[in-house]
Structure 1
Amino acid sequence: MSKSLLIISRQAPWSGPGAREALDIALAGGAFDLPIGLLFLDDGVFQLANAQQPASLQQKDLGANLQALPLFGVEALYASARSLGERGLGDAELILAVQRLDDDALTRLLDRYDQVITL
């Protein structure tokens, strides 16, 4: 039986390789039918913002890969409600539907997964 894995992505898409690495792990795990959840926390919620212009920072757009997550079986997508609110991101500004979780729900989420990786 596969162990469940929660990936916590805390980095903005332009602040280093962490955002892309979290996404790569999620896509790879999904391709192998592992039970995976992806949580966007802190500046990681900026990955969900639409209308990004990564080319101006000489970065690649993560948007297409994020939208492919459900195709790879990664459908458990979460974001910290506090992180979204602090950064002024509402549903209209997001490129991907995620379940917003308050702090108590985040704690319960961590308890549901066998393994947790933070990037």
Structure 2
Amino acid sequence: MARSLLIISRHAPWAGPAAREALDIALAGGAFDLPISMLFLDDGVFQLAPDQRPQTLEQKDLQANLQALPLFGVDALYVSQRSLGERGLDASGLTLPVQALDADALRDLLETHDQVITI
């Protein structure tokens, strides 16, 4: 039986390669039918914000990769309610359907996965 994997993405899409690397791991694992979930935490919640203009920072747009997650079987997507609030974002206005979790639910999420990767 495949072990479940939680990928925690903590970096903004324009803060270097970490956000893209987290998505690449999720997409690669999904292609091999691994049970993968993603949690967007801290500045990682900015990956889900609408109306981004990565060209102005000479960055590549991550939106296509994000939209591909469900196509690769990565449809368990979570976001920290606290991280959203600290950054002035609301779960209803994000580019993907995600489940917003409070601190207790985050703790439970971590305990339900066999392995956790933080990027």
1:62 aligns with: 62
For residue 72 of structure 1, what is the amino acid of its counterpart?
Answer: F
For structure 2, the residue ranges without an aligned partner over 5 or more in a row are: none
Q: How far has the Cα of 1:64 moved from its partner?
A: 1.3
- Alpha-carbon separation, structure 2, partners of 1:81 and 1:36: 20
Pairing 1:83-94 to 2, within 5 Å after superposition: 83-94=83-94
Pairing 1:89-104 to 2, within 5 Å after superposition: 89-104=89-104
SS in 1 for 2:78: strand
SS in 2 for 1:13: coil
For residue 94 of structure 2, what is the amino acid of its counterpart?
Answer: L
Q: Deviations over 1:91-117 (max 9, x none)?
A: 343111100000000000000000000
SS in 2 for 1:3: coil
- Alpha-carbon separation, structure 2, partners of 1:36 and 1:92: 23
1:106 aligns with: 106
- Alpha-carbon separation, structure 2, partners of 1:110 and 1:97: 20
1:81 aligns with: 81
- Alpha-carbon separation, structure 1, partners of 2:60 and 2:70: 20
Instruction: Number of aligned residue pairs: give it.
Output: 119
**4+ residue segments displaced more than 6 Å:** none
SS in 2 for 1:78: strand
RMSD: 0.7
For structure 1, the residue ranges without an aligned partner over 5 or more in a row are: none
Pairing 1:31-46 to 2, within 5 Å after superposition: 31-46=31-46
Pairing 1:47-58 to 2, within 5 Å after superposition: 47-58=47-58
- Alpha-carbon separation, structure 1, partners of 2:25 and 2:74: 11
- The percent of aligned pairs where both chains have the same amino acid is 74
Q: Deviations over 1:45-86 (max 9, x none)?
A: 000001000000000110111011000000100000000111
For residue 20 of structure 1, what is the amino acid of its counterpart?
Answer: R
- Alpha-carbon separation, structure 2, partners of 1:26 and 1:88: 26
